[in-house]
Amino acid sequence: MPSPPVVAVVGPTAAGKSHVAVELALAVAGEVVNGDSMQLYRGMDIGTAKLSLAERRGVPHHLLDVLDVGQPATVAEFQGWAREAISDCRSRGATPILTGGSALYLRAVLDEFEFPGTDPTVRDRIEADLRAQGVARLHARLLGLDPAAAAAILPGNERRIVRALEVIELTGGPFRASLPEHVYAFDSVVQVGIDVPRAVLDERIEARVDQMWRAGFVDEVRRLERQGLREGRTASRALGYRQILRFLAGECSEDEARAATVLATRKFAKRQATWF
């Protein structure tokens, strides 16, 4: 009997992917595999729109709440974890349904995707430049070297900017050129795309951020800060969390943090569309 296909529910943030994945899982006796880089973290619930146990409706979910906020996570590590979860599901006859907002993570799992090497010396030098010059200068450097990569990476995403510059230096080619063509790593893949008109999506994003604030997002970040969120190389970069950390540090007002979260999320959603 052939193994079930790998199903991926893809689309921009706030499109409703998580709920669609649950509905599909209920329909085909499937299990959900998280593909959101920040839902890996325990306690990052409100700001990542992580489904509650009740909202999961009894459907098994993999790769939720597996890391503390101080632990870093790489795409290469996630690729291994997710593919292991997918293989486990298929071996039991369950349909794995991969979904989440981290497009690079999803592609790394679904596609034949090998990661360029790393060089600690090069990375340390670029990170020193980041501390000395700031993220805007490094993003401008990336724009000069690889405009396509710069367009695909949020200007405030220090970790990915550093990685892109590292890959460019090590390989001598553009960072985007290191991304593979869409050739699946599995024998059977079905992608379900959710498309939402831009104006509607913008409204949904603002409404979602407002709801997060009402649900206690600031208190969640305050609690996680005591657990090491600010020092976490990966978790501290998350949308909303980064902006609230600035508010808690006195670098902006709460209203400014909320407005910045809406703006950054809208920009992120726009970039997500370039991946699929």
Q: pLDDT for 45-58, tens place per residue?
A: 999 999 999 999 99
Answer yes or no: do 12 and 87 share one domain: yes
Answer yes or no: do 149 and 165 share one domain: yes
Structural domain harbouring 216: 198-270
Identify whether 11 is part of a domain. Answer: yes
Helix, strand, or coil here: 62?
strand
Which region among 70-84, 147-161, 250-264 has the lowest average model confidence (pLDDT)?
Answer: 147-161
Both structure tokens of 134: 């700031």
Which region among 35-49, 109-123, 184-198, 260-274 has the lowest average model confidence (pLDDT)?
Answer: 109-123
Answer yes or no: do 32 and 166 share one domain: no
Q: In whole angstroms, how far apart are CA 192 and each of 9, 88, 149, 188, 227?
A: 5, 22, 26, 13, 37
Q: Is the pLDDT of residue 204 over 90?
A: yes
Answer yes or no: do 167 and 55 share one domain: no
Identify whether 275 is part of a domain. Answer: no
Residue pair 69/42 in contact by the 8 Å Cβ criterion: yes
Residue pair 39/239 in contact by the 8 Å Cβ criterion: no
Answer yes or no: do 202 and 261 share one domain: yes
Answer yes or no: do 74 and 107 share one domain: yes
Task: Work out the mean pLDDT of the chain and round it to a whole number.
Answer: 93
Both structure tokens of 28: 């085909």
Both structure tokens of 31: 């299990």
Identify whether 276 is part of a domain. Answer: no
- pLDDT value at residue 176: 67
pLDDT category, 69, cuts 50, 70, 90?
Answer: very high
**Element of type H or E holding 99:** strand 95-99
Which region among 142-151, 220-229, 265-274 has the lowest average model confidence (pLDDT)?
Answer: 265-274
pLDDT category, 103, cuts 50, 70, 90?
Answer: confident
Residue pair 62/34 in contact by the 8 Å Cβ criterion: yes
Q: In whole angstroms, how far apart are CA 221 and each of 46, 64, 72?
A: 9, 18, 17
Answer yes or no: do 82 and 162 share one domain: no
**Element of type H or E holding 167:** helix 158-171
For residue 219, the 8-state DSSP code is: H
- What's the predicted TM-score (pTM) here? 0.82
What domain count does the chain have? Answer: 3
What CATH number should be reported for the domain holding residue 232? 1.10.287.890
What CATH number should be reported for the domain holding residue 153? 1.10.20.140
Q: Is the pLDDT of residue 27 over 80?
A: yes
Answer yes or no: do 107 and 129 share one domain: no
- pLDDT tens digits, residue range 207-262? 999 999 999 999 999 999 999 999 998 999 999 999 999 999 999 999 999 999 99
- pLDDT value at residue 179: 63
- pLDDT value at residue 58: 98
Residue pair 3/188 in contact by the 8 Å Cβ criterion: yes
Answer yes or no: do 59 and 129 share one domain: no
Q: Is the pLDDT of residue 172 over 90?
A: no
Cβ atoms within 10 A of the Cβ of 16, count? 14
Answer yes or no: do 82 and 189 share one domain: yes
Residue pair 3/184 in contact by the 8 Å Cβ criterion: no
pLDDT category, 108, cuts 50, 70, 90?
Answer: very high
Identify whether 219 is part of a domain. Answer: yes
Which residue, of 163, 193, 223, is where some domain finishes? 193
Identify whether 1 is part of a domain. Answer: no
Residue pair 53/83 in contact by the 8 Å Cβ criterion: no
